[in-house]
């Protein structure tokens, strides 16, 4: 068996230990004679799995008791609508910071439901930085303030959270959840598609403060109402059962690794291996600088499109796959989520050095 180093932005690598456990338990989950995939979601065996997944997430992220954890479907993209339907219920206003494509999509979708304002943007420099926020642009009566904490495509991350006063802060954490500790109490709502750092596609995690629940607008589809899912323990309908089971295994692995503080230290070390090389290279160059750099997604370029394409193709042959940048920006991008071992980053840099010698 030979496994590649997969630098995909998502769906992404999973810890090998998790895949092995899943394989061992595939045909017979703990003596039940069935795969988790085949289990009734109403069985006591499955209830134990979803309860454990929630308990582990609460423990690992130190989620306060006045927050609900919801296991939903529809991807982070469904949240772009679900959030305004549930939260835009007083002034009908929401403020957004446009730090990339996902932030823009969240803004555009919410604009279908109310008065949305882009209070800052980094579009002028291809989203290569996190913009300053002019407080005078922000509306104190907004129902929420939305940010995308880590910008998967452009490789930026908010180093410091914006101070939104009494306005509830909502964050898309799809590509950075579980990568380092966050103070959940700073947020009214956190959401993330699972396929970057938590498990397989098909699961969307929402962590929402209880006072944000229960005021959805009248026409909200039942399946888009947080209260329905909160009241039914994410079992109003069939949840993405297998993806939740894999999340449970991933959280067990994160705990074994030492939790989010240890995860952060490791992720900083991994990212430094790549950024340090990029900063010293004559051929390759990072597209983001300074404190706004993401720990999870590292875009870089040579400045020559043909050479970029050659690099992507040779990297693939050498076992480094999905290193091509997002189709909207070109160049390269190494996504180094929790499951990417540090050897993957070191070997990639060795390969880049060799490429530089041959092509520089």
Ligand X SMILES: *Cc1c(COP(=O)(O)O)cnc(C)c1O
Give the catalytic positions in this structure: 102, 172, 196
Q: How many CB atoms lie within 10 A of CB 300?
A: 25
Site residues for ligand X, 89-108, by CB under 6 A, read: 102
Give the dihedral sign, CA 195/197/198/204: negative
The site that binds ligand X (CB under 6 A) totals a number of residues, namely 12
Instruction: Please tell me whether the peptide bond between 113 and the residue prior to it is cis, using omega within 30 degrees of 0.
Output: no
Q: Do 288 and 301 touch, CB atoms closer than 8 A?
A: no
Tokens encoding 322: 């999905």
What is the closest distance, in whole angstroms, from the C-beta atom of residue 245 to ligand X in the complex?
Answer: 18
Backbone angles phi, psi at 191, to 5 degrees: -135, 155
Among 75, 114, 200, 331, binds ligand X (CB under 6 A): 75
126 in contact with ligand X (CB under 6 A):
no
Stretch that binds ligand X, among 75-83, 160-168, 227-235, 337-345 (CB under 6 A): 75-83
Binding mask 15-44 for ligand X (x = CB under 6 A): ------------------------------
Among 36, 72, 76, 247, binds ligand X (CB under 6 A): 76
Binding mask 153-182 for ligand X (x = CB under 6 A): -------------------x-xx-------
Among 6, 86, 122, 152, binds ligand X (CB under 6 A): 152
Q: Which of 182, 185, 136 is closest to 160 using CA atoms?
A: 182
Stretch that binds ligand X, among 69-77, 213-221, 252-260, 265-273 (CB under 6 A): 69-77
Return the number of the residue (193 or 344) whose C-beta is nearest ligand X. 193
Among 10, 84, 168, 239, binds ligand X (CB under 6 A): 10
Tokens encoding 28: 């017979």
Residues that bind ligand X (CB under 6 A): 10, 75-77, 102, 148, 152, 172, 174-175, 193, 196
């Amino acid at each position: 068996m030979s496994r590649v180093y997969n630098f995909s932005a998502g769906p992404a690598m999973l810890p090998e230990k998790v895949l092995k456990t899943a394989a061992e338990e595939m045909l017979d989950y703990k003596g039940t004679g069935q795969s988790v995939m085949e289990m009734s979601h109403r069985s006591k065996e499955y209830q134990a799995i979803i309860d454990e997944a929630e308990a582990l997430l609460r423990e690992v992220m130190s989620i306060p008791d006045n927050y609900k954890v919801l296991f939903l479907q529809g991807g982070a993209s469904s949240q772009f609508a679900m959030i305004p339907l549930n939260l835009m219920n007083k002034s009908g206003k929401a403020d957004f910071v446009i730090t990339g494509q996902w932030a823009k999509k969240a803004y555009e979708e919410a604009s279908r439901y109310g008065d949305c304002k882009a209070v800052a943007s980094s579009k002028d420099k291809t989203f290569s930085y996190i913009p300053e926020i002019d407080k005078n642009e922000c509306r104190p009566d907004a129902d929420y303030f939305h940010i995308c904490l880590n910008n998967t495509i452009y490789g930026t991350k908010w180093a410091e959270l914006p101070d939104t006063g009494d306005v509830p802060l909502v964050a898309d954490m799809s590509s950075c959840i579980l990568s380092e500790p966050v103070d959940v109490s700073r947020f009214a709502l956190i959401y993330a598609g699972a396929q970057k750092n938590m498990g397989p596609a098909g699961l969307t995690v929402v962590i929402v403060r209880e006072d944000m629940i229960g005021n959805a607008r009248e026409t909200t589809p039942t399946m888009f109402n947080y209260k329905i899912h909160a009241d039914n323990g994410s079992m109003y309908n069939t949840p993405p059962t297998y993806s939740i089971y894999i999340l449970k295994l991933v959280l067990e692995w994160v705990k074994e690794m030492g939790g989010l503080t240890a995860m952060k230290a490791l992720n900083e070390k991994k990212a430094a291996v790549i950024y340090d090389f990029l900063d010293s290279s004559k051929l390759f160059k990072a597209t983001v600088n300074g404190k706004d750099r993401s720990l999870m997604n590292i875009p870089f370029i040579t400045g020559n499109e043909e050479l970029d394409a050659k690099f992507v193709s040779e990297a693939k042959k050498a076992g480094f796959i999905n290193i091509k940048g997002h189709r909207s920006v070109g160049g390269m991008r190494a996504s180094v989520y929790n499951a990417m071992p540090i050897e993957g980053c070191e070997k990639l840099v060795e390969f880049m050095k060799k490429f530089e010698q041959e092509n520089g």
